[in-house]
Amino acid sequence: MDKNEVGNVAWFDLTVKDADKVKDFYKSVIGWQENPIEMGGYQDYSMQTPESLTDVAGICHARGPNEDLPAQWLLYFKVADLKASIMAVTQSGGTVMTPVKNLSASSHFAIIKDPAGAVCAIYADI
């Protein structure tokens, strides 16, 4: 599976009040290793597989740019054009829950809710 292909689940993360405690939980339950990501005064975590140390998920504090994210595992779907996809969300009966935010220096995302109430993120490279 090519995670960078449009339409794929490219990433998932969990945003919670105490990311330190929760990342330790998943380290113990799944065997993930932590890869700290400096966020300017605190650390979020990219969690890695125990053998190859491949980054597979994020566990983030509900602070800063993640302050308004729901405390649930959040899937990030890759889209070809974020602006066009956001327009399609509202035209198709969904809701855009957050403004567009930086995912990295080269990509942006928005949190959306589908007409049934399910929440996910869509992102695109710029």
How many other CB atoms are there within 10 angstroms of residue 40's CB atom? Answer: 7
Please write the tens of the pLDDT for every residue from 20-78: 999 999 999 899 999 999 998 999 999 999 999 999 999 999 998 888 888 889 999 99
How much is the pLDDT for 101? 92
Q: What is the mean pLDDT of residues 77-106?
A: 94
For the chain, the first-to-last Cα distance in angstroms comes to 22
> What integer best gives the mean pLDDT of the chain?
92
Structure tokens at 81: 């054009």
Judge contact between 7 and 66, C-beta under 8 A. Answer: no
Q: Which residue is it, tokens 């449009």? A: 6
Structure tokens at 19: 């990311």
Is it the case that residue 4 has pLDDT exceeding 80?
A: no
How much is the pLDDT for 93? 96
Length of the chain: 126
Structure tokens at 86: 């956001």
How much is the pLDDT for 1? 55
Query: Domains in the chain, please, with CATH?
Result: 10-71 (3.10.180.10), 74-126 (3.10.180.10)
Judge contact between 126 and 107, C-beta under 8 A. Answer: yes
How much is the pLDDT for 105? 87
How much is the pLDDT for 32? 96
